[in-house]
């Protein structure tokens, strides 16, 4: 505290002067300068002030973007499909005559070419899986039953078409009749499950079981 005498001889105490730093520390920032044109003048220069974290983030985006561009332009090397999954089709008359399709078919499913023997084996295997589904049918499990029927029957539908096409002439019509009886019955089963009608589901499933057993015997 500094004491000074005034003209009346009375001393007054002046408050101490608090010292302030002459300079304040400025926050460290990184300046990223970009130019819109070739000339470097004030009208074309744009300065973006950002934090270190944002600068690192921008660098990461640039690095990842460069890497992704390299992958996105990769050509088909035989291990994956370049584009949308092709929609399978059938050559024989196994679709519903009224709708032109089947109600249980899943869309955009990829059907790998596993050969005639592979398709016959899968028909037998999936027929067995649908026969083993009987214990799954219940009032609280019809949602799972519906999904199970769709995926198995969709594969059987397209496999049956290829098997019929490759069959000898005398075997084509019997296989065609068997396929239509199977898929007509599966459509009725699918409709009963969608309606959550447990009694109708059980009754329709019993009729479907007989045809599934015929499929297993035919594909053995």
CATH of the domain at 127: 1.20.120.290
pTM exceeds 0.85 = no
Rounded CA separation 203/187 (Å): 13
Helices (H), the chain: 52-72, 115-131, 142-166, 169-194, 198-218
Q: Out of 7-11, 184-188, 192-196, 208-212, which region has the weakest mean confidence (pLDDT)?
A: 7-11
- pLDDT tens digits along 76-93: 555 666 777 777 899 999
Distances (CA, A) of 50 to 27, 54, 118: 11, 6, 61
Rounded CA separation 18/100 (Å): 92
The answer on 132 and 57 residing in a single domain is: no
Domain boundary among the residues 46, 72, 98 is at 72
Q: Find, among 113, 216, 98, 207, the residue nearest to 158 by Cα.
A: 113
The residue with tokens 């002439």 is: 169
The tally of domains found in the chain comes to 2
- Residue 108 within any structural domain of the chain: no
pLDDT of residue 113: 86
- Residue 107 within any structural domain of the chain: no
Higher per-residue pLDDT: 9 or 139:
139
- Radius of gyration, alpha carbons of the chain: 39
Range of 16-20, 38-42, 177-181 with top mean pLDDT: 177-181
- Residue 176 within any structural domain of the chain: yes
- Residue 200 within any structural domain of the chain: yes
Domain boundary among the residues 72, 87, 102 is at 72
- pLDDT tens digits along 158-181: 999 999 999 999 999 999 999 999
Instruction: Tell me if 32 sits within 8 A of 48, measured CB to CB.
Output: yes
pLDDT of residue 10: 45
- Residue 10 within any structural domain of the chain: no
- Residue 201 within any structural domain of the chain: yes
Domain interval for residue 120 = 115-218
Residues in contact with 106: Cβ distance below 8 Å, sequence separation at least 6, in sequence order: 150, 151, 154
The residue with tokens 């929609």 is: 87
Instruction: Tell me if 92 sits within 8 A of 144, measured CB to CB.
Output: no
- Residue 80 within any structural domain of the chain: no
Helix (H) or strand (E) holding 132: none
The answer on 202 and 144 residing in a single domain is: yes
């Amino acid at each position: 505290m500094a004491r000074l005498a005034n003209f009346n001889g009375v001393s007054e105490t002046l408050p101490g002067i608090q010292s302030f730093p002459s300079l304040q520390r400025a926050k460290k920032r990184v300046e990223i300068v970009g130019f819109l044109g070739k000339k470097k003048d004030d009208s074309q220069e744009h300065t973006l002030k950002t934090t270190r974290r944002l600068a690192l983030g921008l660098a990461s985006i640039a690095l990842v973007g460069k890497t992704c561009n390299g992958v996105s332009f990769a050509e088909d090397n035989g291990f994956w499909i370049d584009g949308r999954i092709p929609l399978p089709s059938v050559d024989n008359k196994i679709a519903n005559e009224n709708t032109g399709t089947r109600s249980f078919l899943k869309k955009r499913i990829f059907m790998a070419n596993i050969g005639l023997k592979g398709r016959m084996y899968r028909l037998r295997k999936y027929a067995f899986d649908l026969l083993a589904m009987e214990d799954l049918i219940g009032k609280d499990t019809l949602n799972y039953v519906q999904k199970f029927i769709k995926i198995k029957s969709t594969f059987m539908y397209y496999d049956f078409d290829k098997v019929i096409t490759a069959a000898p002439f005398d075997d084509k019509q019997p296989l065609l009749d068997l396929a239509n009886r199977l898929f007509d019955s599966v459509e009725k089963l699918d409709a009963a499950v969608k309606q959550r009608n447990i009694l109708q589901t059980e009754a329709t499933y019993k009729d479907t079981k007989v045809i599934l057993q015929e499929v297993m015997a035919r594909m053995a």
